[in-house]
Amino acid sequence: ILLQLFNIVNAQTESVDSIMERMHQLAKLYAESVKEYTAEVYIKSQMDIIKKNRGFRYIPGLFRIKDDENRFIVETFSDLHYTAPNIYDQKIKVYTGTLQEVKEIPGIKDYFHINVYKPFLIGRKLLSPLAPKSEKYYVFTLDSVTTDLQQGDEYHISFKPRNKSLQLIEGRMVVSKESLSVRRFAFRGKAELIDFSCDILMGELGSNQELLPTNHNLAVSYAFAGNVMEGYYETNICYN
């Protein structure tokens, strides 16, 4: 009970504006600090066809299926080579699943390559809450301050758009009070044809992977011309 009261008092006395101002200053430094890395990437995915009609087979970029197939399970192991500023060379080395070819729901490939510190999360489509002057577009709330035995004191900050826009997202992040690095980043939003939610866990505080994602869960719903698909992806990244 005392710990809960401590967290509530801290959340009321800390200024979320000052926290975000310092995070904005550090975001550019953190975004540019990672120049290159290699990693092994494991992705387990499940794709469900919720609704389809005769036009399903004509959806651009979609895989071919039999009429009675509605669920697909796929697992892949890949080698990933990243080079700044935004080059991701990912090569699948092991593939297993119920699909005969390696395919994804159209339009979601970039959701696996997110740098939480960059001004835009996916190309120039989604404005990050850590982008410079993002307070013009987002409302930030300091929900609580907690203490983790391994991570130390952490800020729990939620954010939501000031106005409706496909370029803005809603979510929350857990931030180290010590380094102001993101420990967890969860968000949801809409794009053309896609509703999505992402939950990203970052590397251990103080490690070489502190600024890099280690786990990434993604859920998407894709709708096109009366056809609806849902996809669920669990990603684990192991850095070399």
Instruction: Identify the helix (H) or strand (E) that includes residue 32.
Output: helix 16-33
Q: pLDDT for 175-184, tens place per residue?
A: 999 999 999 9
pTM: 0.86
Q: Is the pLDDT reported for residue 162 higher than 70?
A: yes
Q: Is the pLDDT reported for residue 8 higher than 80?
A: no
The residues with which 199 forms a beta bridge, in sequence order, are 186, 217
Q: pLDDT for 78-137, tens place per residue?
A: 999 999 888 899 898 888 887 766 555 555 677 888 999 999 998 778 999 999 999 999
The answer to whether the CB of 143 falls within 8 A of the CB of 155 is no
DSSP helix/strand/coil, 10: helix
Place of tokens 């699948």: 92
